[in-house]
Chains A and B, each alone.
Chain A
Amino acid sequence: MSKRTIEFALATPGVDTQGRPTRVPLGTLEEPGLEGEHMLINIGPQHPATHGVLRLVVELDGETVVRVIPHVGYLHSGFEKLGEYRHYNQIIPLTDRTDYLSPMANNVGFALGAEQLMGIEITPRCTVLRVIACEMSRIISHMVWLGTTSIDLGAFTPFLWTFQERERIYNLQEMWTGARLTTSVTRVGGMMADIPDRFVEGLRHFTRTFPKTLAEVDRVLTRNAVWIGRTQGVGALTAAEAINHSLSGPMLRASGVPYDLRKDKPYLGYDTYDFDVVVGEHGDVYDRYLVRLEECTQSNRILEQALDRLPDGPINVSDPRLILPPKSRAMNDMEAMIYHFKQVMEGVKAPVGEAYVGIENPKGELGTYLVSDGTAKPVRWRIRPPSFINLSALPKMAEGHLLSDLIAINASVDIVMGEVDR
């Protein structure tokens, strides 16, 4: 078949300038420029791969991401404003609802901030219980991350395993606080409740059996060709870039910066526990996966040690101006009733000053910044939101990658919109 025949066969009917019917051979048409025009794609706010109500407006050249414009704020609830109208203990339920994948760690973060502001030393038993709360939160948060990210990248099975593990921690949380998600487990100067009977037993059972699930996930994903192909070299950030973008938590450590607040600014006696800070090398999605997976093992180690050393004793400081008396005493004892009344009606007054406490939350550094003017309500309660700041590096990470990689990168940030939007 000659070239001419092919051109004629592919020709399309048309009209010439005089209006006579003619055939326009395709071969004579100018080849369209490959750079072409850029396309605009909207992802979210209702999209399963955006992990909440995140909206991304993506500029695409073919399939390559040229620019990402994230839109946040769909879940904004004004927690910081609400906090200015509440007593310190009344703010704790608000902290549940910021990073709702690790509510107990948020409770601890706020309580530590308020205690630093008021200069309170908590009891040894309370310290260890808070470590347990933080590490349980780290495990469930990383489990959700692992499950949803593997679903985003096409692996369904790990999702079932990780959510089953999360369910077991949720059962323990429910046993302790009566709630699965809105735990509100801390109080300024102590805890809402001591752990119930059989809790230690249940958590010990968990720490014994949990490594098996981690090993299974590790076997299915870590050396899986599809998983490696989708994650290695994707969304990489160097250590300098990660620091410049103020990243924290696993995002920072995956880029090779060995900074962990539990070691470097120890709180709750974390410096007395034996655990390793997990550091990545390349700062890509794969390293973030490895860091989070290994952090679960380390959290499990901390949980075991915490259970071993859990001391007896009171969970609350023995200051009647700070801690509500037991209901039976408040009903029968005049003095206790007065303290009860004053705490409920007036709240606990904090001295003039300001305090910042950063704790290593599963997602990064959760900062609590409290400014007091001497009244029972803070002048300013600022949450340093780790996933908000980590998310701000998304446009930088996604540039030049494929659209499908954008999903992997966004998943690797480990955002929770309750905290991003607050």
Chain B
Amino acid sequence: MNPSVDALRATFGNAIGRAAESCGDTIVYVRPDALLAVLGWLRDTPEHRYDYLVDVTAVEYRDRERSLEVVYFLRSLDRRADLRVKIELDPAGDLTVDSVVPLWRGADWLERETYDMFGITFKGHPDLRRILMWETYAEGYPLRKDFPLRGRFSRAEQVRQALAANPEAHYSMEELSIAEAYEELPPDMKERLRRGERGTLPHSE
């Protein structure tokens, strides 16, 4: 068992849940509200120095009773040590956790991908948009277990949406406002952009 677990328990008390070992790796569960404090402490305390964030992802189990887990893979480059931190969320409840981008810039796209695939909202993320799926994708979150392998919509509906997609709308409003190009667009294109640009994301309904 990784010695950092005992140090964590001594410092954070009951914010640290159970710890487990699997295939040689230590996994420690942390209460969601203590996540930022725990990860910041692990990163900055000299004897631990988990300065490298390997990966951020989430796991949903086939067993509906089990909670959805957000997994942080930490590594100390100096000490050559690994630690896996997990937080548990209720899949039916509010899927919100604090973003770790303030600690590691590398979490930026990883959290966006986790949001894209699982619908977990990372509070405080500077730019939480879908990343692999397109912005108007309305079928939900593909890696959730209730998401069918072939998508939620019928093949006919998927084809219809693909054909109706407006290729000009693929600049976001934010990007167009950079160049002040938006003002110069013809009115009909502005209207189409306005319609096609962000669509309705499932969580805003």
Contacts and interface: CB of A to CB of B under 8 A. Distances in A.
Interface of A: 37-40, 42, 57, 59, 67, 69, 71-73, 76, 78, 80-82, 85, 116-117, 119, 241, 243-247, 257, 259, 264-265, 353-356, 358, 365, 367, 369, 371, 373, 379-380, 382, 384, 388-389, 391-393, 396, 421-422
A356 B59 contact: no
B55 interface: yes
Given A57-B175, A373-B61, A72 B131 contact: yes
Contacts of A356: 23, 25, 73, 82, 84
B143 interface: yes
B104 interface: yes
Contacts of B107: 246
Given A257-B77, A354-B22, A379 B59 contact: yes
A354 B55 contact: no
Interface of B: 22-25, 27, 51-55, 57, 59-63, 71, 73, 77, 80, 82, 84, 104-110, 113, 117, 130-134, 142-143, 147, 149, 170-171, 175-176, 178-181
10 contacts: A57-B171, A116-B24, A246-B107, A356-B82, A379-B59, A379-B60, A380-B60, A384-B54, A389-B106, A422-B132
A243 B23 contact: no
Contact of B132 (A69, A72, A116, A389): A72
Nearest to B77: A259
A76 B137 CA distance: 13
Given A243-B77, A355-B23, A380-B60, A367 B178 contact: no
A74 to B, nearest CB: 9
B143 A81 contact: yes
Given A57-B171, A81-B149, 6 more contacts: A81-B147, A245-B105, A245-B106, A247-B106, A264-B80, A379-B59
Contact of B176 (A40, A379, A382, A396): A40
Given A73-B133, A243-B77, A392-B106, A40 B175 contact: yes
A355 to B, nearest CB: 4
B142 A243 contact: no
Contacts of B180: 37-38
A40 B80 contact: no
A64 to B, nearest CB: 14
Given A244-B104, A365-B54, A82 B175 contact: no
Contacts of B59: 354, 371, 379-380
B132 A59 contact: no
Contacts of B147: 81
B54 A246 contact: yes
A244 B52 CA distance: 7
A85 B149 contact: yes
Contacts of A354: 22-23, 25, 27, 59
Contact of B63 (A247, A259, A367, A373): A373
Contacts of A259: 77
Contacts of A42: 171
A334 B77 CA distance: 52
Contacts of B104: 244-246
Contacts of B62: 373, 379
A81 B151 CA distance: 11
B63 A116 contact: no
A16 B113 CA distance: 60
B22 A355 contact: yes
Contacts of B77: 243, 257, 259
A78 B180 CA distance: 36
Contact of A40 (B132, B134, B181): B181
B55 A382 contact: yes
B67 to A, nearest CB: 13
Contact of A78 (B27, B60, B71, B142): B142
Contacts of A371: 59, 61
Contacts of B57: 369, 380, 382
Given A246-B53, A247-B106, A369-B55, A59 B178 contact: yes
A196 B133 CA distance: 43
B61 A116 contact: no
Interface centre among A59, A82, A353 (most CB of B within 10 A): A353
Given A40-B178, A81-B142, A389-B109, A353 B22 contact: yes
B195 to A, nearest CB: 20
A210 to B, nearest CB: 31
Given A59-B179, A73-B132, A421-B132, A265 B53 contact: no
Contacts of A247: 106
